[in-house]
A and B are shown apart, each in its own frame.
Chain A
């Protein structure tokens, strides 16, 4: 195993290459483009043996990926933001087919206004489709998660598609040292896919995703998807243990940082969790018992792992890098739902930060810890707070002026 400097995009491509994927339908969009550029080049140079088709749109791309997956081919595809939205209709369809497709989403804010910076409104919009969701903090984690995603998706106790998420720019184009596993070790971990369910082919006619026209049938199939997704938590334990045994890296359904004796906990996902961890370290230097919990899975939601991790904590601040307009932070709602029936649940505070990749400053983290401590004293939990600095406000004021909006 050799370490080299890889972007998140190239790490994803390496995951696909090492998984010895058979078929990749593709459509480029910033900031995902480098993944398919890399794969396309490897295939054209003969370094990778897979079918590669450039599609006319994301809608066709996801359809083709689902159909290929239904034939028993190990299939990969990838998109981002508006592209994901364009293919959205087919996400429900493909998940309903119960095919083990793996997709990478490179998170980018949704229009309007247009931005290329990341937040998680794109990936979280599909949390109810049936796709499992793994969210990554580092480039290494992207590569490793692609491999684990295939194991999970192809397990017959699951058979649901998996989405692996990474932040645009802050991972997709950021290079850091990544260990690229040996192909033989990967074959040990992820053997060739033996489809028992997927056998869609010309000589063997079948109907995939049929019309059932009736609530009682429809309910059965939908609930089965839910059970399969719940199974994934148990299956993942095996996958994660095997992965650790072979590659030495351990990934739980959640990532816990300085959580052991923590009283004040940040909850964050994806690449900005690194900033959160740095803030936890700084808070510890000031004597605050801080910790960070990062859900790696958002579907299935690792309820019991989160409840265990937060037992006895005083306050939890959820920093959502998304906004459900008219409600607030999506992960805040998920956390509230997860903790509601706990007797000694911690106080739960809601912050929105990092939308469109907006920086989260040291002062903003300081404010979060201050608020947590104050709230524990007063027991009065304020509504959500959008993290925004005075300087940033000056910037938007100037921009509004130039645009003639003041």
Chain B
């Protein structure tokens, strides 16, 4: 059985990617199961989705804790301790990272020991689809890694995407971009047998008083510790020559991330700006432009 785990951000299409792959495997004659884990998440938050592909019956349910293949749709997740996309990856497994960097640079940069494949699918998506929506592209890469045939992938893309995209042109561009990604990845054979997981010790839980064991939070003010700036795909950049200091962007920012400098010009707190770009939409003089974020070249918080 092949177990694949997709890591993306809410809105990028990790769930749809896992479904397209599930359908493609099913159409290719395999048993398949796909499953997203979400619920309380929102746009931009880390999410995971899973696909299991097997010739035999699938006797598993729920999360994949020991994947053979990990698909990282957003590179910044590699540095996110809550997401930790590589956890449980089996030895001999494959990691796909959506990045402009080469596999070698990525391996070095993140200290990954496993087989790494890279492709800047965000760029492909922006160039060929016009939006940073990665579902079909991530699914295509995963399908190639999993050894699923191109026809099954095409049929699955058509089936899954036509359920959510009504515009034929957009659908076609998605499929075209996906097939481009499918053909950009070299076929590989995966041989994962060894499990990295250690044997789990089972314990008995002791009694603790309600002062300790009730679900309430005593330590206040810990929310700012969770920075959300790496959720961005685009960052808002101000042109102070055009800016009239009208403060519309300050008023409209849903996260309260925009403040004024000493001269009264607005600036963003990029550590927490999620890149929703409502400021750019609302700016009456068009002084705010959206610039493709390149987290891979800067550490979180660098400007």
Contact = CB atoms under 8 A, between A and B. Distances in A.
Contacts of A176: 31-33, 58
B276 interface: no
Contacts of A275: 59-62
A137 B34 CA distance: 16
Interface string B93-117: 0000000000000000000000000
A299 B201 CA distance: 36
Contacts of A272: 61
Contacts of A362: 200
B60 A278 contact: yes
A125 interface: no
A1 interface: no
Contacts of B37: 169
B199 interface: yes
B65 interface: yes
Contact of A363 (B202, B212, B213): B202
Contacts of B216: 403, 405
B285 interface: no
Contacts of A30: 39
Contact of B199 (A281, A363, A385): A363
Interface string B200-240: 11111100000111011111001000000000000000000
B205 A112 contact: no
A4 B59 CA distance: 19
Interface stretch (B19-27, B176-184, B290-298): B19-27
A135 to B, nearest CB: 14
Nearest to A405: B212
Size category of the A interface is 35 or more
B23 A5 contact: yes
Contacts, number: 101
Nearest to B212: A405
Contact of B34 (A175, A367, A385, A388): A175
Query: Chain B interface secondary structure, helix, strand, loop or mixed?
Result: loop
Interface stretch (A54-62, A214-222, A258-266, A389-397): A389-397
A367 B202 CA distance: 8
Contact of B33 (A175, A359, A364, A367): A175
A387 B202 contact: yes
B59 A277 contact: yes
Interface in B25-76: 26, 31-37, 39-40, 58-63, 65
B60 A174 contact: no
Contact of A385 (B39, B201, B204, B215): B204
A89 B38 CA distance: 30
B34 A174 contact: yes
A43 interface: no
Nearest to A3: B26
Interface in A134-165: none
A46 interface: no
Interface of B: 19, 22-23, 26, 31-37, 39-40, 58-63, 65, 199-205, 211-213, 215-219, 222
29 contacts: A30-B39, A112-B215, A113-B215, A169-B35, A173-B36, A174-B35, A175-B35, A176-B32, A176-B58, A177-B32, A274-B60, A275-B60, A275-B61, A357-B62, A359-B62, A364-B202, A386-B205, A390-B200, A390-B202, A390-B203, A393-B203, A393-B205, A402-B219, A403-B216, A403-B217, A405-B211, A405-B212, A405-B213, A405-B218
A-B CB proximity, top 5 nearest: A404-B219, A404-B218, A113-B215, A278-B59, A116-B39
Given A116-B40, A402-B222, A405-B218, 18 more contacts: A4-B26, A174-B33, A175-B19, A176-B33, A177-B31, A274-B59, A277-B59, A278-B60, A362-B200, A363-B201, A367-B202, A389-B200, A389-B201, A402-B219, A403-B218, A403-B219, A404-B217, A405-B216
